[in-house]
A and B are shown apart, each in its own frame.
Chain A
Amino acid sequence: MSTEVAIVGVGLHPFGRHDPALTGMAMGAQASRLALADAGVSWADIGYAVGGSNVSGKPDTLVGVLGLTGVPFVNVRNGCATAGVALATAANAIRAGETDLALVVGFDKHARGAFAANPADYGHSDWYGETGLMITTQFFAMKDRRYLHTHGLKDRLLAQVAAKAFRCGELNPDAWRRKAISEDEIMQARVINPPLTQYMLCSPSEGGAAVVLASGDRAADLCERPVRLAAVAKRTRRFGSFEVFAPWLPPEAGHSPSVDAARAVFTAAGVTPADVQVAQLQDTDSGAEIYHMAETGLCEDGAQQELIDLNETAPTGRLPVNTDGGCLANGEPVGASGLRQVIDIVLQLQGRAGARQVAGQPRVGFTHVYGAPGISACTVLTA
C-alpha cells in the first residue's frame, strides 16, 4: 500500500546569468518561497525538506533564511541527477509516513564556461585531468558521434534539436535564451568539440527551482489540480555502458543508467512510454536529447530522424520534448535543473504553460535526468 504523492506547488528562479552578488542560495530561497506561495502553505507547514546544490553551498543552510522550524533537511549532491534524487528522497519520506508535506529545492550558481572536474573526485589519478581527457563536452561529442554513426543519423539532426530548443525558449518568459537561431547558424557556429558547435551545448548557468510535495489526501485539500508523482526511479551505471569520465570501456556494450531508470519508473507507474504526452529529457547537448529519446523508450533507435524532421518533438508535435527550451535554452544550474524539468511538466499537465502549452490537455508526463559519472533519475507525472 503505497501512499500517493502529488506536487501541489512550484517555484522557479529563472535560470541564466544574474547579478554577481546574487548567491545560489538566495535563488534557492526565492524559488522555495514561490513554491510555498503557489501551494498556499507556509514554511512552518513543511515537515521534511530535501535540497540539492553542486557548488553553491549546503542546502540545509536555507533554514537560516526560510525559518528555523527544526524541520529535517537532507542535502543531495548527485551531479546533473541531483534534483531527481532529491525528489525521490522527499517522496519516499512522504510514503514512509514521516510527513504529509515536503519541500524539494535545488540551486546553483556556476562560473562561465565548461565545468572543470577534479580527477580524485571521480576515482581517477592526476594524469587523466592533466592530459586533457577529463572534459565533459568531449564525452558528449564522442557519444553523439558514435550514436549517429551506429544508427545512420545525420549530423544536421544536432542543429535541428538545438533550433527547436531556442524556438521553445522564445515562447518561455523564464528562459535564458529567448531568441530563435536558424539551423544554418547553429551548424556554422564556433566548433567546441566536433560534431558539436557552441549552440548545441548547454552552458552552466545560475538559478533555483523548488516544488512542494504532499500526500494524496493533503493534496486534494490544497490544490485544485494536483499533479500526481506516479513514480520516481534512480539508477547508477551498469557494466559496458559508455559514460562520462571513462578511461576505458569493455568491448561488450551495455545499456545506460537512463535505460534502467526509465524502465523502472514506467513499470512502477503502470504506464508505457507510448502513453507519454509531454516529456523532459536531459539535453546537456543536442545529441543527448536524441539518444535519450531512445534510451528512455520514447522511440526506437534511429527513429529520431523522422520524428524530428516532422517536428514531432516541438510543443505542437505528437511527442513534445523540453517545451520550456530544456538545458539548451535555460542553461544548467546543476542542482536545480531536474526540478525545472518537473515544473515544466507540472505546468503542462495543469494547462498553465502559456505560449508553449501543449494542446489536448496532456495527462501523462515524463522527466529524465542524466549526470556524471553515470547516474539517471526519471519521473512519471500524471494529471
Chain B
Amino acid sequence: MIAVDPVLFSSLDPPRLAGARCASCGTVTFPAQAGCAKCAGTDLARVELADHGTLWTWTVQAFEPKAPYRVPEDGFSPYGVGYVDLGDVIVESRLVGDPAGFEIGMPMRLTLLPLWAGPDGAPVVSYAFQPAGGST
C-alpha cells in the first residue's frame, strides 16, 4: 500500500492524517504547510489529526471530471465529497457511503480510499471519511 502523497498521512495502518500546528497561534493546517495562514508564523510542526469528526457540508460528484482527475480503472462512478470537522481543523475529503444517508452534523470516521495500482502493482491509496455507524 502506497499513499498517493506521503504528506497526507502520519500512518496508513491504522489510517491517520497528518497536519501541521503553528507554534505561535495553534492553527492546524491540512495538509502540513510551512507558513501559518493566520499569524504568518513559520514554526509549524507535524501533528496527527483526529480520525473522526462530524460532517460539515457535502455534495456528490455526479459527472466525470476532466483531467487532472484520474478515472479509476473500472470507470467513473459518482462519489461523495465533503468537509469533516475534526475539532482543530475542518478537512475536505472524499466520502464513502450512500449519499442518501449524508446529513450535516452526522458522525464520520476516517478510512482509506483505494485509487489505482502503483508502478509495482501495490495499491495507491488516499483518505476518505465514512459515516461512523457504517461498515468498512
| A interface list, Cβ under 8 A from B | 113-114, 116, 118-119, 125-127, 129-135, 138, 141-143, 145-146, 149, 190-196, 239, 246-251
| B interface list, Cβ under 8 A from A | 4-5, 7-8, 19, 27-31, 37-38, 56-63, 65-70, 79, 81-83, 85, 87-94, 99, 104, 113, 115, 126
Set B29, B83, B113: member contacting A131, Cβ < 8 A = B113
Given A145-B59, A247-B30, does the pair A130, B38 have CB atoms closer than 8 Å?
no
Contacts of B69 in A (CB 8 A): 129-132, 134-135
Contact A142 B94 (CB under 8 A): no
Contact A239 B38 (CB under 8 A): yes
- Which B residue sits closest to A119, measured CB to CB? B68
Contacts of B59 in A (CB 8 A): 138, 141-142, 145, 193-196
Contact A192 B62 (CB under 8 A): yes
Contacts of A143 in B (CB 8 A): 57
Contact B90 A249 (CB under 8 A): yes
Contact A142 B31 (CB under 8 A): no
Set A127, A138, A146, A149: member contacting B61, Cβ < 8 A = A138
Q: How far is the CB of A206 from chain B (nearest CB, A)?
A: 18
Contacts of A194 in B (CB 8 A): 59-60, 62, 99
Contacts of A131 in B (CB 8 A): 4, 69-70, 94, 113, 115, 126
Contact B89 A132 (CB under 8 A): no
Q: How many A-B contacts if CB must be within 8 Å?
A: 115
A sample of 13 inter-chain contacts (CB < 8 A) reads A119-B68, A133-B93, A138-B81, A141-B59, A142-B59, A190-B62, A193-B60, A194-B59, A239-B37, A247-B31, A247-B91, A248-B31, A249-B89
Given A133-B81, A239-B37, does the pair A127, B62 have CB atoms closer than 8 Å?
no
Given A133-B81, A146-B56, does the pair A248, B68 have CB atoms closer than 8 Å?
no
- Which B residue sits closest to A197, measured CB to CB? B62
Contact B81 A142 (CB under 8 A): yes
| A190–B65 CA distance with the chains assembled, in angstroms | 16
Contacts of B99 in A (CB 8 A): 194
Q: How far is the CB of B49 from chain A (nearest CB, A)?
A: 10
Contacts of A193 in B (CB 8 A): 59-62, 81
Contact B5 A248 (CB under 8 A): no
Set A126, A141, A250: member contacting B5, Cβ < 8 A = A126
| A134–B66 CA distance with the chains assembled, in angstroms | 10
- Which A residue sits closest to B127, measured CB to CB? A131
Set B8, B58, B87, B94: member contacting A132, Cβ < 8 A = B94
A-B pairs, 6 with minimum CB distance: A129-B68, A116-B66, A141-B59, A248-B30, A146-B57, A127-B5
Q: How far is the CB of A158 from chain B (nearest CB, A)?
A: 13
Contact A127 B8 (CB under 8 A): yes
Contacts of B70 in A (CB 8 A): 130-131
Contacts of B56 in A (CB 8 A): 146, 249
Give the interface centre of A127, A141, A149, A246 by most chain B CB atoms within 10 Å: A127
Set A125, A145, A191, A247: member contacting B57, Cβ < 8 A = A145
